[in-house]
Homo-oligomer: A and B are copies of this chain.
């Protein structure tokens, strides 16, 4: 039995360039947001069987990688724009869009693959050759600095969305500017890390001389689920967090809390969203020497099942007043923040050890929302002021991006409405 027959998904090998016989699965769900054929079954299902090799549709009203069931691995890159030429930058966005459509479908970049001229560099760097599409999604965002630093040159003056605010400085923030901000971002999620790394690397290669990677982050384990009723994966503190995440199939909540609506403005953002990225370092060694009771009090959950204080199951509705006033679950709950609700897609990271032999590890927090002022900011104000967890974590990187709507079809490209003024 080959993998092809066991999963129904073609391998990259079979898709490569020659003849274009690639069959892309999925893409059938309403709205294009959920394009795999099988739901995730369990947080413990770290290597779910059938669906992990499939392709997620690149085209649709919203970019994939937001409501899409959360893939296992992440490579996130922030770029700064180096070119001063508007036409060159627009050409790059078009070329990136073409490459992203090919890679997410499991193809190599460029029609030629290795069949091109031997005297030229290959169109594709090759390390994903033979790998499956692996539910790769590529999600592009524009940072505030694109509008501020390049606005005049690129004809974007006055086009910065009001909802794309600079984040305030929260108590306890200890931000490293070298791990913050960026004119652009690309979030690559896939079930195979080599597929995610390959995608970012090839976009960086295509952009050589026009954009440069400012910082990047590899995430090795998802900490959130957007699948209804799935168990929430555990973070590096060993806890389930974010149980009441917005499901990727819940159109009503998505429309209310995630997608920018027609009346929200600006026009070029309709169907888009806003992304907040925070690199949250955990003081792992201190946490690991803390008693189970303290750990459970800090979160307001039991560690084994993940149920809220006094409850039996992870998904039982929490009774907030049963928790300590500074418990994380209580402070993060929409009821404590005027209903503020965000869609979380965070990943655990570990980047080796620091100079003191401590693990440089934690949560790379990613949250999507319709308006940052009504999503992340009120929640984080509440947490930064009081959360018992603050003793064990520190926010060390921060960025915010406007994520435009999806690419409609082969003639469309990332950011077209922003640059052409036509929705």
Instruction: Answer whether residue A61 sits at the interface, using C-beta atoms and an 8 A cutoff.
Output: no
Say whether, besides A118-B291, A120-B292, A49 and B201 are in contact (CB < 8 Å): no
Instruction: Answer whether residue A19 sits at the interface, using C-beta atoms and an 8 A cutoff.
Output: no
Say whether, besides A236-B127, A292-B114, A295-B122, A3 and B359 are in contact (CB < 8 Å): no
Find the B residue at minimum CB distance from A359: B201
* Residues of B close to A353: CB separation below 8 A: 213-216
Instruction: Answer whether residue A218 sits at the interface, using C-beta atoms and an 8 A cutoff.
Output: yes
Cβ-defined contact, A350 with B197, below 8 A: yes
Cβ-defined contact, A49 with B121, below 8 A: no
CB contacts under 8 Å to B, within A1-55, are 2-3, 6-7, 11-13, 41-49, 52-53
Say whether, besides A197-B350, A205-B288, A292-B120, A304 and B127 are in contact (CB < 8 Å): no
Instruction: Answer whether residue A221 sits at the interface, using C-beta atoms and an 8 A cutoff.
Output: yes
Residue-wise interface mask of A (358-375) relative to B, using a CB-CB cutoff of 8 A (1 in contact, 0 not): 010100000000000000
Cβ-defined contact, A212 with B357, below 8 A: yes
Cβ-defined contact, A238 with B122, below 8 A: yes
CB contacts under 8 Å to B, within A91-150, are 113-114, 116-122, 124-132, 134
Instruction: Answer whether residue A237 sits at the interface, using C-beta atoms and an 8 A cutoff.
Output: yes
Instruction: Answer whether residue A263 sits at the interface, using C-beta atoms and an 8 A cutoff.
Output: no
Cβ-defined contact, A129 with B234, below 8 A: yes
Instruction: Answer whether residue A239 sits at the interface, using C-beta atoms and an 8 A cutoff.
Output: yes
* Residues of B close to A220: CB separation below 8 A: 73, 193-194, 197, 218, 220
Tell me, rounded to whole Å, the shortest Cβ–Cβ distance linking A384 to chain B: 24
Distance between Cα atoms of A125 and B236 in the complex (Å): 8
| Total copies of the chain | 2
Residue-wise interface mask of A (234-272) relative to B, using a CB-CB cutoff of 8 A (1 in contact, 0 not): 111111000000000000000000000000000000000
Tell me, rounded to whole Å, the shortest Cβ–Cβ distance linking A16 to chain B: 8
Instruction: Answer whether residue A204 sits at the interface, using C-beta atoms and an 8 A cutoff.
Output: yes
Interface size class of A (residues with CB under 8 A): 35 or more
Cβ-defined contact, A49 with B49, below 8 A: yes
Cβ-defined contact, B352 with A127, below 8 A: no
Taking a contact as CB atoms closer than 8 A, the residue among B3, B42, B204, B238 that contacts A45 in the complex is: B3
Taking a contact as CB atoms closer than 8 A, the residue among B46, B52, B292 that contacts A134 in the complex is: B46
Cβ-defined contact, B291 with A46, below 8 A: no
Cβ-defined contact, A201 with B351, below 8 A: no
Question: Which 4 A-B pairs have CB atoms at the shortest separation, nearest pair first?
Answer: A126-B238, A44-B130, A193-B220, A118-B293
A-B contact pairs, 24 of them (CB 8 A): A13-B44, A44-B130, A44-B131, A44-B132, A46-B131, A46-B194, A46-B195, A47-B191, A118-B296, A120-B291, A121-B288, A122-B303, A125-B238, A126-B237, A126-B303, A129-B234, A129-B304, A194-B348, A197-B221, A201-B284, A212-B357, A215-B353, A216-B359, A218-B351
Instruction: Spell out A's residues near B (CB within 8 Å).
Output: 2-3, 6-7, 11-13, 41-49, 52-53, 73, 75, 113-114, 116-122, 124-132, 134, 191-195, 197, 201, 204-205, 208, 212-218, 220-221, 231, 234-239, 284-285, 288-293, 295-296, 302-304, 348, 350-353, 357, 359, 361
